Structure 1
Amino acid sequence: MAVQVEVRFVTKRRQFAVPDTPFTVPSNVGSRELNSLINELLKGRDPDKHCREVDFDFLVCGEVLRVPLSDHLEEHSISSEVTVDVEYFERVPAPEPRDCLLHDDWVSAVQVKNGWILSGCYDNTLHLWTTKGKHQLTIPGHTGPIKAVTWVTHNDTLVTFVSASHDQTAMLWEWNVSTNAVECIHVCRGHERALECVGVSSCQSRMATGGWDTHLKIWSAGKSYFAQTPLMTLKGHKEAISAVQWTDSSEICTASWDHTLRLWDAEIGGIKTEIVGNKSFFDASWSPLNGLLITASADKHIRLYDPRSTEGSLVKSTFTSHTQWVQSVRWSTTEDHQFVSGSYDQQVKLWDSRSPKAPLFDLKGHDGKVLCCDWSEPELIVSGGSDNTLRIFQSKQHK
């Protein structure tokens, strides 16, 4: 006979609340049995309102339950003799494959905003698409593969965006939506080797670039006061800078092949914080929703860092599922526990940061290495790869 455990069910969604009196359940129950129990309790409380079964996930000791409850408690050194709080929440619906946009070469950069998709390609071209999959424009200009793109300003008639390339330049573009005409309004020159990344500040007045010359450069992003030279050059990394992101108007986060993450002061220059890892970082994504960093590495793992942590390990979780090196990671912009990753194993994976042992979903479709991914718009997950395609997945969010 299985050992019994006393559990108390809690939820943040009032419409799914059940009595908070403890229940006794077998210690070997899993999420499927707990799901059935919660649905039975909801039907008993209000049969008409809860005629439809709801899929729930369960959080115990801060981690999503993926194994029998007894194993989970043992892993977290929790006695089965105490009352265990079990938080439950609606399970994330599976994203659905929607479109496959064909390019003439590897798709190595992508970002979505306000109904438009901007992609960068290894044939040196940029592409504009609608989120419905219609090709809007091919933009030549670079003389090397494009490794990063990002939108700068966006309104109904005039849009600016920036691209960074192996040709050692970043180019600022202005697109007139009504005439569908685009022009390069500035070329940022100053890097001595190929660029890998570009990021724009939240106030849209400055941008930062990094690449194989190991230098982080800050530029003005305002059309009317562009200078021919960077506002600032910050030195310190010893190998290529693979990712750059503004965490606020005066702080920049970078990731590098030199095994370090750095936070920089963008006002006075200099390093504020250095986090040392054990492998090269190929990408990093910082979330304004939770203040946490996720990183992509050659050892097939994704790691979650808390740069504000003052005690214990800065690595708070390690996510293991990819079978080859992870090239790209991106936080959701609306869900503070969710992110996506893209890998050389041809897989895009959707994760919950509270479930490090397994992703929520594998998003299949690519026939080659996944080189970039983006989740800037809540309803769309996009990814590009060495199969010359840009894949669009429809992400369903709970209301």
Structure 2
Amino acid sequence: MDDKAEAQVQVRFVTKQEKYAVSDSPYAIKSNISTTELSTLINALLKETDSSITKSVDFDFLICGELLRSSVEEHLQEKGVSTEDTIELEYFERLPAPTPQDCLMHDDWVSAVHAHTNGILSGSYDNSIHIWTTKGQHKLAIPGHTSPVKAVSWVSFQDDRAVFVSGSHDQTAMLWVWNVSQNSVECVITCRGHDKGVECVAVSADAKKFVTGGWDTNICLWSASLDDVDHVPDKKKNKSEHGNSKVQKPQSTLQGHKECVSGVQWMDYNTVLSSGWDHLLKIWDCELGGIKQEIAGNKAFFDVDWSPLNNSMITASADRHIRLYDPRSTESIVKATYTSHTNWVQSVRWSKTRDTLFLSAGYDSKVKLWDTRSPVTPLYDLSGHEDKVMCCDWSNPSLLISGSCDNTLRIFKSKYATAGAQ
């Protein structure tokens, strides 16, 4: 007899999804049982309770706050939990795999993307910006920058007018107005203040201002209002560039990074988070112009994202790992490390509706969908790219988007756009 196969453990099943609730009495199960077998067991218990249930449901399981990705016995050993105890096993309906929707071709590397419920922006190494519908229809190709576009972001959608911002290695950021019904676009403000290329941009929640980070190690704070500008024509523009845009200079400049500023995000109306190639994360007070908090890493940071849903940040790094930080923690600030990419992680983005889900993109050509409670194994690999993935976005809860050096923008449809208790 195989003693290991016969070894048992007492478990109590609990769930926050009431329609799937079973008795919370302890059950004796094989200690080497897998997630698939546990899911089959829950379905059998549900059918015993309600004979009208005919469709089986795939479940995921949490033990000690972490998703089960091995046998129960192996999981408990890893967590140092005795198999003699009665184990609480929380379960919930497994998220379905995102489905491929579109593959949008560009003429060069796709280096920036930002989605809204009404449209998608992409930026490319051919210096152009593109507007797409959420269904993948190409609306406009926009010239104007004279170097690769490294950052794009929607500012606002109002009736028939949309405002967006782009940042480029030509050292400028540009504010654009898209007339949706006429499908025409105009650069109305050129933002000049960086001495080297602009690498990242983030718009505040109230759409009144935005920040840029650049290779000059500076972070510039700008007005996003189309009225708060000196009415001075931009004399540095080439004839081939758009319209009669006005020049804007930064409202303030935050100095403190020693190398390229790779990522910027707003944490609240006055607080900006930044990541740098200098191995540092910084939290800034924009009003005072000072640093509230500084967090040191051991490798260059290529991106950072902040979630108001869980008050945590995730980082993309040169050591192939993604890290989860809680800046409020008085103990270890790094709460988890995610270890599945095999090359640089270039971009990370939180879900806007689920506080445990995030997206990552890497130079290993992979895009991965993660649950924070599964640090070694992502929920899904979103396959398709054939070269380094430079950017990803989950601003539209229904769409997972990534851009790559294979000149494509890939869109996956999310089936779990709304918030859910798990």
Query: What is the TM-score when the length of structure 1 is the normalising length?
Result: 0.98
Matching residue of 1:39? 43
Instruction: Give 3-state SS (helix, strand or coil) of 1:224's partner.
Output: coil
Say whether 1:315 aligns with 2:334.
Answer: yes
Q: Residues 110 and 97 (structure 1 numbering): CA distance in 2 closer, same or farther, change over 3 Å?
A: same
Offset at residue 135 of structure 1 (A): 0.6
What are the within-5 Å matches in structure 2 for residues 24-63 of structure 1?
24-48=28-52, 50-63=53-66
Instruction: Give 3-state SS (helix, strand or coil) of 1:213's partner.
Output: coil
Match of 1:174 among 167, 174, 177: 177
Offset at residue 155 of structure 1 (A): 2.4
Q: Which amino acid letter does the alignment assign opposite residue 76 of structure 1?
A: K
What are the within-5 Å matches in structure 2 for residues 214-363 of structure 1?
214-226=217-229, 228-311=248-331, 313-363=332-382
Matching residue of 1:141? 144
Matching residue of 1:392? 411
Q: Which amino acid letter does the alignment assign opposite residue 354 of structure 1?
A: R
Structure 2 CA distance, aligned partners of 1:306 and 1:30?
32
Instruction: Give 3-state SS (helix, strand or coil) of 2:358's partner.
Output: strand
Match of 1:113 among 113, 116, 127: 116
| Deviation readout 1:17-48 (Å, 9 max, x if unpaired) | 11111111111112111111110111111121
Structure 2 CA distance, aligned partners of 1:154 and 1:392?
21
Q: Which amino acid letter does the alignment assign opposite residue 326 of structure 2?
A: D
Offset at residue 83 of structure 1 (A): 1.1
Structure 1 CA distance, aligned partners of 2:79 and 2:385?
37
| Deviation readout 1:71-125 (Å, 9 max, x if unpaired) | 1111111111111111101111011111111111100000110231100000110
Q: Unaligned 5+ residue runs, structure 1?
A: none
Structure 2 CA distance, aligned partners of 1:115 and 1:250?
27
Offset at residue 398 of structure 1 (A): 7.6
Structure 2 CA distance, aligned partners of 1:66 and 1:114?
34
Structure 1 CA distance, aligned partners of 2:290 and 2:78?
42
Contact kept, 8 Å, 2:322 with 2:339, in 1: the verdict is yes
| Deviation readout 1:206-239 (Å, 9 max, x if unpaired) | 1111111111111111111135321111111111
Matching residue of 1:207? 210
Q: Which amino acid letter does the alignment assign opposite residue 394 of structure 1?
A: K
Q: Which amino acid letter does the alignment assign opposite residue 30 of structure 1?
A: S
How many residue pairs are counted as aligned between the two chains?
A: 397
Structure 2 CA distance, aligned partners of 1:231 and 1:15?
53
Structure 2 CA distance, aligned partners of 1:36 and 1:19?
16
Matching residue of 2:13? 9
Structure 1 CA distance, aligned partners of 2:281 and 2:319?
16
Instruction: Give 3-state SS (helix, strand or coil) of 1:223's partner.
Output: coil
| Deviation readout 1:298-347 (Å, 9 max, x if unpaired) | 11111111111111x21111111111111111111111111111111111
Matching residue of 1:197? 200
Contact kept, 8 Å, 2:113 with 2:393, in 1: the verdict is yes
Contact kept, 8 Å, 1:298 with 1:325, in 2: the verdict is yes
Moved more, 54-63 or 223-232: 223-232
Offset at residue 352 of structure 1 (A): 0.6
Contact kept, 8 Å, 1:92 with 1:398, in 2: the verdict is no
Structure 2 CA distance, aligned partners of 1:263 and 1:328?
19
Q: Which runs of 4+ in 1 moved over 6 A?
A: none
Structure 1 CA distance, aligned partners of 2:229 and 2:12?
60
Matching residue of 2:25? 21
Q: Which amino acid letter does the alignment assign opposite residue 319 of structure 1?
A: Y
Query: What is the TM-score when the length of structure 2 is the normalising length?
Result: 0.93
Say whether 1:377 aligns with 2:396.
Answer: yes
Structure 1 CA distance, aligned partners of 2:306 and 2:154?
17
Structure 1 CA distance, aligned partners of 2:303 and 2:387?
19
Q: Unaligned 5+ residue runs, structure 2?
A: 231-247
| Deviation readout 1:175-216 (Å, 9 max, x if unpaired) | 110111111110110100111001111111111111111111
Structure 2 CA distance, aligned partners of 1:33 and 1:396?
25
Q: Which amino acid letter does the alignment assign opposite residue 215 of structure 2?
A: W
Match of 1:368 among 377, 387, 391: 387
Instruction: Give 3-state SS (helix, strand or coil) of 1:9's partner.
Output: strand
